[in-house]
Amino acid sequence: MSLKTITIWLVTFVLVLLFFYGLNHSIMGMQGLPLNWDLTPAQWTPEQ
């Protein structure tokens, strides 16, 4: 496998990953359920 092929795969993979990361944030944000940077719920206090 050439260096060029590896670069193409890596770059597209990272870009797609970033896209989905942003997607998750925006979808949950739109529903009024914000997330922290690590995708954990930002608006949730485990209280009964």
Partner 1 sequence: MNADYTQRSYSHFHWLWRVLFGLLLYLVVVIAGVAWAGSSIEDNIAPTGYVQVAAQSPLYSEAVAAQPDNALAEPEPAPKMTDKSYRRFGVSSRSVVWVLAQMHLFFGALVLAVPLFVFVIEFIGFKSGDARYDDMAHEFMKISLTAYAITALFGGSLALALFLLYPGIMNYMMGVFGAQMLVYAVLFFLESMLLYIYYYGWNAMRYGNAKWVHLSIGLLLNGVGTTLLVVANSWATFMMAPSGVNEVGAVIGGIWDVMRGPLWNPLNLHRFLANIAFGGAVVGAYAAYKFLSAKNEELRAHYDWMGYTSNFIAILAFLPLPFAGYWLMAEIYAYSQQMGITAMGGVLAWLFVLQAVLIGTILLAGNYYLWSGMSRTKGAKRYTHFIKYIAVVLVVSFLIWVTPHTLLLTSSEVAALGGSHHHLLGPLGIMPAKNIAVNLMLLATFLSFQLYRRSNKEITVSWAPVGNALLTAIYLVAIANIIYAGVYYGYFTNTVYKVGSSVIQVMSTLVVIVSGIVIDSLMFRGAKTLPSRWGQVSNRAQYALFALPVAFTWLMALMGYVRSSVRTNWHVYTVVKDTSQDNFIPTIGYAANMMTICTLLFLMFLLFIFWIASLSNTKQAPPGAAVEASA
Partner 2 sequence: MVLLRVLGFSLALILVFTLTANLLPQVEGEVPVEKEIDLGALTMDSFVALGEDIYNNKGTCTLCHNDSGRAPDLSAMNTVAAANRHLKNSRYQGKATDAAAYLMESMVDPGIYVVSGFGKKGSNDTESPMPAVDKPPIQLRAVEMDAVIAYLQAKDGNKITVELPSEAPVSTAVAPSAVTTVAEASAKYGCQACHSMLGTESAVGPELNTIAQRMGVEEIRQSIIDPDAKVAKGFVGGMMPGDYLDKMSARELEMIVRFLAEGKE
Near partner 2 by CB under 8 A, which window of 3-11, 12-20, 28-36?
28-36
Retrieve residue 5's tokens. Answer: 């092929």
Give the footprint of partner 1 on residues 22-41 (CB under 8 A): 23-24, 27-28, 30-33, 39-41
For residue 21, what are the contacts with CB-CB under 8 A and spacing of at least 6?
39
Q: CA–CA distance from 31 to each of 1, 14, 25 (Å)?
A: 44, 26, 10
Indicate whether 38 belongs to the interface with partner 2 (CB under 8 A): no
| Chain residues that interact with partner 1, rule: CB under 8 A | 5, 8-9, 12-13, 15-17, 19-20, 23-24, 27-28, 30-33, 39-41, 44, 46
